[in-house]
């Protein structure tokens, strides 16, 4: 191996080994072994071939020395050609083994990444909504990318590196000591001059790299937030483009300065190490030549020692950093396991049942509920805080009871923050109640499978979220097997068919991040079309018409009338005009049902509902004594 390449490799290992000296447990090692077990056959072959490659690497310098001896002795050409041919065969074998080893390394490493990523992804999908409301998305994605790759490096790089370098080091030292122990010991005297700068400079470069990564992460966060539709709008509304540009430029300049320092440090480091390597080679050639001229050493041995020397420093330096590399990989594993150790708050029972066929009733029986505290659903490292907020568990629903019979519409009205959306989330079993019960067709939702609940109950939230995918893909989330005709039918019923038909690619038009290429009303109607396609037996509408103008609202109400016909529905509405026809209206205040009845009964009772209604629709004091007409 060329000395300059050796120097770069030494710097790379030292630079990428983060010296984290936290203790690790045997349980962590057992879990790592569990992930490695499916790949154990490939791992064994990988290690065996790495050892074989190391053996071949040491054989070549020895054979080269024999060729030199044969030339000096003036022997026949046959042995020289034979040795040269053997070196060629070894070179081919090294190349083939290198390719096979790389394939095994890639297979094991990428297989491990696949296993870890899918395991973490599947686990995160089972986490409660509270987990996602607290966690920084970027920190969570980093666990699926950086930490998973760091853990994979333990198998694909560190493990094979330790095995191969150890064999190379032992064989090289044995051969060198057998050839000339004096020259070998003198060459080893220069080893600290090679290894120590690699460790110290590697630490410095690692610090620069981490600082650069921090600034790059900050720039990425700034770009992600400012380049989104709402972020760009906010910047423009407050006339801050210049300030944003200055802030971004300051970070970019810092990254540039770090890049220049890193490049110069690398160049000085590599130049110094190549110089030290050249001095070591000069020592071997000088002292070896001296011994050879005195007849104490064969000329070929001098050449062999010089070649072996180039294969000695790299494994020594790599092994010196091996412990730190292993600890870095273990830290990555622990950060991945940290996420996997978060327990989902909602899980299916082993004997979970299906929602019975036919119309479905929804019942709340003395339900009490408080949102879980952060320490139960999140990690400080994912929220990027020093300690988690331990507050939580404050009851927000108090003894809530009602029943929606099959085919009935129950409306929830009340002040903002009264608990209406919480009731909807509990009904959909996005959270489990603290006491009491939520029942579908008389069965506690905790006894039902999550898949059965999702097939039975559909929900339209007030934000109308869409993925950065096509109209078709966003609709097919509800029912992947739906036909083209069914897609156009639900779009027609949601009063979107004409709009979608006029888009550049029709159903295949991408709606943009969070659907921002559509207006607020269009986004909401598309989410309603999606629920129409799902055809659930229970529908929950959480302010589903909040973003619609009067014309769109009337059109969607007509479509919803078709969709809700014969189905049980729970409708949360701020516009009281949309719930006048409800079979039962519940007035929610401070997490309690304070009034219940029909629209007419509640108006006649003169309570909170009547107050909300007149606040919305009174146009002047003159009208206060008469019932106002709703504005549609």
pLDDT digits (tens, 9 = 90+) for 471-529: 999 899 888 899 999 999 988 888 788 888 988 888 998 887 767 778 777 887 888 88
Q: What is the pLDDT of residue 436?
A: 94
Whether domain 3-340 has CATH 3.40.50.720: the reply is no
- Which residue has better confidence, 464 or 600? 600
Percent of the chain as helix, strand, coil, to the nearest 5: 65, 10, 25
DSSP string across 413-426: EESTTSSHHHHHHH
Intervals of CATH 3.40.50.300 along the chain: 362-371+395-623
In this predicted structure, what is the pLDDT of residue 310?
76
**Which tokens belong to 363?**
């019942």
Residues carrying CATH 1.20.1560.10, the chain: 3-340
Q: Is the pLDDT of residue 622 over 50?
A: no
Of the listed ranges 95-104, 178-187, 377-386, the one predicted with least confidence? 377-386
What's the rounded Cα separation, in Å, for the pair 514 and 537? Answer: 27
Whose structure tokens read 């390597």? 277
CB atoms within 10 A of CB 149: 16
Q: How many CA atoms lie within 13 A of 530 on its CB side?
A: 27
Q: Tokens 């994912």 identify what position? A: 382
Q: DSSP secondary structure string, 463-504?
A: T----SSBHHHHHHTT-TT--HHHHHHHHHHTT-HHHHHTST
Is the separation of the CB atoms in 570 and 402 below 8 Å?
no
> Is pLDDT larger for residue 555 or for residue 345?
345
**Residue 302's pLDDT is what?**
85
Q: Distances in Å between the alpha carbon of 560 and those of 453, 531, 597?
A: 21, 10, 22
Paired with 410 in beta bridges are: 570, 584
Residue-averaged pLDDT of the chain? 79
Per-residue pLDDT, 177 = 85
Residues facing residue 586 across a β-bridge? 412, 596
Interval 208-217 mean pLDDT: 70
- Phi and psi of 592, rounded to 5°? -125, 150
Tens digit of each residue's pLDDT (9 = 90 or more) over 405-445: 998 999 999 888 889 989 999 998 988 999 999 999 999 99
Residue 1 pLDDT greater than 60, yes or no: no
Cα–Cα distance, 361 to 355 (Å, whole number): 11
Q: How far apart are CA 285 and CA 306, in angstroms?
A: 7
For residues 610 and 444, the answer to whether their CB atoms sit within 8 Å is no
- Residue 204: left (phi > 0), alpha (psi -120 to 50), or beta? alpha
User: What mean pLDDT comes out for the span 181-207?
Assistant: 70
pLDDT greater than 80 at residue 280: no
User: What is the distance of C-alpha 459 from the center of its chain?
Assistant: 27
Measure CA of the first residue to CA of the last residue in the chain; give whole Å: 81
pLDDT above 70 covers a percentage of the chain that reads 78
For the cut 60, the answer to whether the pLDDT of residue 14 exceeds it is no
Span 75-113, pLDDT tens digits = 677 888 888 899 899 989 989 998 898 888 888 878 888
How confident is the model over 530-538, as a mean pLDDT? 88
pLDDT exceeds 70 at position 563: no
Beta-strand runs (E) in 339-490:
362-370, 395-404, 409-414, 435-440, 443-444, 457-460
Q: In 3D, which of 415, 424, 411, 420 has the Cα closest to residue 616?
A: 415
- Coil, helix or strand at residue 516: coil
581's CB contacts (< 8 A; 6+ apart) are 409, 599
pLDDT confidence of 300, banded at 50, 70, 90? confident
Q: What is the pLDDT of residue 155?
A: 66
CA distances to 459, 462, 489, 528 from 543, rounded to whole Å, are 11, 5, 24, 11
Of the candidates 197, 248, 192, 242, the one whose C-alpha atom is nearest the C-alpha of residue 224 is: 248
- DSSP SS3 for 288: helix
Check whether 210 has a pLDDT greater than 70.
Answer: no
Q: Is 626 left (phi over 0), alpha (psi -120 to 50) or beta?
A: beta
Query: What confidence tens digit (pLDDT) does each residue in 255-267 have?
Result: 888 888 878 877 7
Between β-strands 443-444 and 362-370, what pairing exists: parallel, antiparallel or unpaired? unpaired
- Mean pLDDT across 373-383: 74
Mean pLDDT confidence for 214-228:
72
pLDDT value of position 143:
75
Buried b (16+ CB within 10 A) or exposed e, 396-434: bbeebebebeebbbbbbbbeeebbbbbbbbbbbbebebe
Q: What is the dihedral of CA 291, 296, 301, 302, to 10 degrees?
A: 0
pLDDT confidence of residue 392: 62
In terms of Cβ atoms closer than 10 Å to its own Cβ (0-12, 13-18, 19+), residue 312 is: buried
Name the 3-class secondary structure at 143: helix
- pLDDT tens figures, 50-75: 888 888 888 888 888 888 888 887 76
Chain-centroid distance, C-alpha 470: 23
Nearest to 172 by CA among 3, 1, 314, 309: 309
pLDDT at 35: 82
Sign of CA dihedral 574, 576, 582, 586: positive
Q: Is the pLDDT of residue 6 over 80?
A: no
How far apart CA 37 and CA 33 sit, in angstroms, is 6
Which position has the higher pLDDT, 203 or 368?
368
Q: How confident is the model at residue 222 (pLDDT cuts 50, 70, 90)?
A: confident
pTM: 0.69
More confident residue, 450 or 140: 450
CATH of domain 362-371+395-623: 3.40.50.300
- 158 pLDDT higher than 80: no
What are the structure tokens assigned to 404, written together? 């929606």
How far does CA 599 lie from the centroid of its chain?
48
Quick one: DSSP state of residue 412? E
């Amino acid at each position: 191996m060329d000395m300059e390449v050796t120097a770069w490799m030494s710097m790379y290992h030292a630079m990428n080994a983060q010296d984290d000296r936290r203790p690790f447990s045997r349980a962590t090692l057992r879990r790592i072994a569990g992930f490695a077990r499916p790949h154990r056959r490939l791992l064994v072959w990988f290690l065996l071939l790495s050892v074989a490659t190391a053996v071949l690497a040491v054989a070549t310098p020895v054979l080269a020395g024999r060729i030199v001896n044969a030339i000096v002795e003036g022997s026949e050409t046959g042995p020289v050609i034979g040795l040269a041919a053997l070196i060629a065969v070894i070179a081919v074998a090294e190349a083939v083994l290198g390719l096979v080893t790389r394939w095994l390394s890639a297979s094991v490493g990428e297989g491990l990444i696949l296993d870890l990523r899918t395991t973490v992804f599947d686990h995160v999908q089972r986490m409660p909504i509270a987990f996602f409301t607290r966690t920084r998305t970027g920190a969570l994605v980093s666990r699926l990318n950086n930490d998973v790759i760091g853990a994979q490096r333990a198998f694909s790089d560190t493990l094979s590196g330790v095995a191969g370098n150890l064999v190379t080091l032992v064989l090289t030292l044995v051969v060198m000591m057998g050839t000339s122990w004096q020259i070998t010991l003198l060459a080893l005297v220069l080893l600290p001059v090679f290894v120590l700068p690699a460790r110290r400079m590697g630490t410095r470069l690692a610090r620069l790299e981490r600082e650069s990564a921090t600034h790059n992460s900050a720039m990425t966060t700034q770009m992600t937030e400012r380049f989104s539709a709402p972020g760009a709008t906010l910047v423009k509304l407050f006339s801050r483009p210049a300030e944003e540009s200055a802030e971004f430029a300051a970070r970019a300049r810092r990254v540039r300065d770090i890049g220049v320092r890193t490049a110069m440090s690398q160049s000085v480091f590599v130049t110094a190490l190549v110089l030290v390597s050249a001095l070591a080679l000069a020592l071997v050639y000088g002292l070896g030549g001296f011994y050879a001229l005195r007849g104490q050493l064969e000329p070929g041995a001098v050449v062999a020692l010089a070649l072996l020397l180039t294969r000695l420093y790299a494994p020594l330096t790599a092994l010196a950093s091996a412990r730190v590399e292993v600890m870095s990989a273990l830290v990555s594993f622990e950060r991945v396991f940290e996420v996997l150790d978060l327990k989902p708050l909602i899980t299916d029972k082993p004997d979970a049942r299906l929602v019975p066929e036919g119309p479905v009733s929804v019942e709340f029986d003395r339900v009490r509920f408080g949102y879980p505290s952060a320490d139960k659903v999140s990690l400080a490292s994912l929220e990027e805080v020093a300690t988690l907020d331990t507050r939580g568990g404050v009851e927000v629903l108090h003894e809530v009871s009602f029943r929606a019979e099959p085919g009935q519409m129950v409306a929830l009205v009340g002040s903002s923050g009264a608990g209406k959306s919480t009731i909807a989330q509990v009904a959909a079993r996005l959270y489990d109640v603290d006491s009491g019960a939520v029942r579908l067709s008389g069965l506690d939702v905790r006894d039902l499978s999550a898949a059965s609940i999702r097939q039975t109950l559909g929900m339209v939230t007030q934000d109308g979220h869409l993925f950065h995918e096509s109209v078709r893909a966003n609709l097919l989330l509800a029912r992947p097997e739906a036909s083209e005709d069914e897609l156009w039918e639900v779009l027609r019923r949601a009063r979107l068919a004409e709009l979608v038909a006029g888009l550049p690619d029709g159903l295949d038009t991408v709606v943009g991040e969070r659907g921002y290429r559509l207006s607020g009303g269009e986004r909401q109607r598309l989410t309603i079309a999606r629920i129409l396609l799902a055809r659930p037996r229970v529908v929950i509408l959480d302010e589903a018409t909040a973003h619609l103008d009067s014309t769109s609202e009337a059109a969607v109400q007509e479509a919803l009338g078709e969709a809700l016909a014969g189905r049980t529905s729970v409708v949360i509405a701020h516009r009281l005009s949309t719930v006048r026809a409800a079979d039962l209206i519940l007035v929610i205040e401070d997490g309690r049902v304070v009034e219940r009845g029909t629209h007419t009964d509640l108006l006649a009772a003169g309570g909170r509902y009547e107050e909300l209604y007149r606040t919305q629709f009174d146009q002047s004091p003159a009208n206060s004594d008469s019932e106002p007409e709703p504005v549609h």
